[in-house]
A and B are shown apart, each in its own frame.
Chain A
Amino acid sequence: MTEKELLEQLNQLKEVKPNQAWGSWLLSHILSQKSTVLTPQPQVKWAGFSFLKHYQKVLIPAFCVFLFVSSLALAQNSLPGNPFYSLKTLTQNVRLALAPQSEKPVVRLEIAQARLEDLKKTKDQEEKVASLTQTIKKDLNTIPQELKNIPQKQVALKTSQRVQEKTQNLTKLVEETNLKPAQKEELTNTVAETQNQVLALISETTEELNQCPNYLQNKLNDLQNYFVNQAQELTQWSAEDLTKVKMSLSEATNLVKAGNCLEAIEKIESINQLLQIHSLDTSSPQLEVQGVQVETSTSSTGE
């Protein structure tokens, strides 16, 4: 194909256009986004006797809110066996569902603690107590896995430390409940197991954070060699960008040496972005960094 033929074909590709109806719809949709921010003009009407209707409109929702709030208040002090206890459980579950991922283990532990407090005050109600005990066990068993699922290692470490602090008095709480000895023993073992798993996680995460994977250093070396070899092309870069690269390389090197892997990865990413903007040869050693996902694929010895 000659250049002329290629240009003719490229010219034909200009005919590619979006669907007109969609284009019109998109415009109205975008413009409507800002219009929702505008405050509506208040409408002024002659009141007449309409204040009576208005009174009704306020009373009914207010009464519903009052009912709901009262129910919630009653529920907070309820115990297993009380009809309002399911509402209390529901509010606890909603609180857990709405908690961000990094906070879920702590919230779950606090809820388990609150439920143990409820068990302390409950007498009889064997069936309800047994069911609640199983729920508490399940929650405690879930906490270590939730901690492991937190992607950012530093956040996971802090949350784990908070969980570990809060589990200190759980064993005592279990002892103070009115559970049967066998149930107490089971729950105590679950608490101990959870504590052990959390401690192990703290230890593992601390070790991981203090050792950057070797490949980070290798990638840094590759980047440095690359910039040395491409010195001629770099003359087209602005002085500002060249300074940025030098500083980022130097900072990344220091961060890797200090074991601050996450910050080092961010610096390398900023160098990659500059490379992309200047669109040098793609044989350059751009590091595909996926943040903490990279960390989770490495062994704890930081290979």
Chain B
Amino acid sequence: MTEQEFTALYQKNLDKVFRFIYFKVDSPETAQDLTSQVFLKFWQNNQPVKNPQAFLFQTARNQVIDFYRQKDKTPVSLEELQEQGQEIPQPSFAVQIELSFELENLKKALRRIKNEYSEVIIWYYLDDLSVKEIAEILNKRENNVRVLLHRALETLKKEVNEKNSV
């Protein structure tokens, strides 16, 4: 791949990959590190890639899995961290937007639901990937992805409403 081709791919996918990782790790700096790794791996990959976007997101998924495996962490909400007395990072210059209270709650809810649900929601509703593209990333049939999306949204809605009613 030439530098121009890579630059085009990078500019098209940087926001999406960063956003995907950001909503899974909850630290902008970690999201930056892992995003860097994803694109670096793609650039240094010598094998031909049939579907660059799928490759990027599969690599991103693996980076997140490895991150939690190495750190022996499970995703925790900021509330849980605060209860444990941990310092919550202030809104960081790594991300260009500060979220409202409601959106922060939604972000926390995304991290509480199952990984597979949050992944498809982020890809479909935030990154605007099609069902076909998501199926290629996950190596599933399109029908399965549609079912997954439906369940994911229902679960997220339930999670948000339960938290709001507390």
A16 to B96, CA, bound (A): 7
Q: Which residue of A lies closest to B128 (CB)?
A: A14
Asked if B39 and A10 make an inter-chain contact with CB atoms under 8 angstroms apart, the answer reads: no
- State which of A6, A29, A33, A282 has its C-beta within 8 Å of the C-beta of B160: A6
A30/B43 contact (C-beta < 8 A), A15-B97, A16-B97 known: yes
- On chain B, the residues within 8 Å of A276 by CB distance are 65
Give the distance to chain B from A235, nearest Cβ to Cβ, in Å.
12
Tell me the bound Cα distance from A2 to B3 in angstroms.
46
The residue from A10, A16, A19 contacting B121, defined by CB atoms under 8 A apart: A10
Helix, strand, loop or mixed for chain B's interface?
A: helix
> Which secondary structure characterizes the binding site on chain A?
helix
Q: Classify chain B's interface size.
A: 35 or more
Given A9-B102, A12-B103, A33-B40, are A18 and B35 also a contact pair (CB < 8 Å)? yes
A6-B153, A9-B106, A34-B43 as given contacts; A17 in contact with B93, CB under 8 Å: no
User: Of A1, A11, A279, which contacts B161 at CB under 8 A?
Assistant: A1
Q: Does B22 contact A (CB under 8 A)?
A: yes
Interface size on A, residues (CB 8 A): 30
| A22 vs B139: C-alpha distance when bound (angstroms) | 32
Known contacts A31-B3, A34-B43: does B106 contact A19 (CB below 8 Å)? no
Residues from chain B with Cβ under 8 Å of A18 in the complex: 14-15, 18, 31-32, 35, 94-96
Q: Is the CB of A26 within 8 A of B157?
A: no
**B96–A19 contact, CB under 8 A?**
yes
Say whether B36 contacts A26, CB under 8 Å: yes
CA distance A226 to B10 in the complex (A): 42
Which chain A residues lie closer than 8 Å to B114 at the CB level? 279, 282
The one of B3, B18, B40, B103 in contact with A13, judged by C-beta atoms closer than 8 angstroms, is B103
List 18 A-B pairs, Cβ < 8 Å: A1-B157, A1-B160, A6-B160, A14-B126, A16-B96, A16-B99, A17-B95, A18-B31, A18-B95, A18-B96, A22-B32, A22-B94, A27-B7, A27-B11, A30-B40, A30-B43, A277-B138, A277-B139
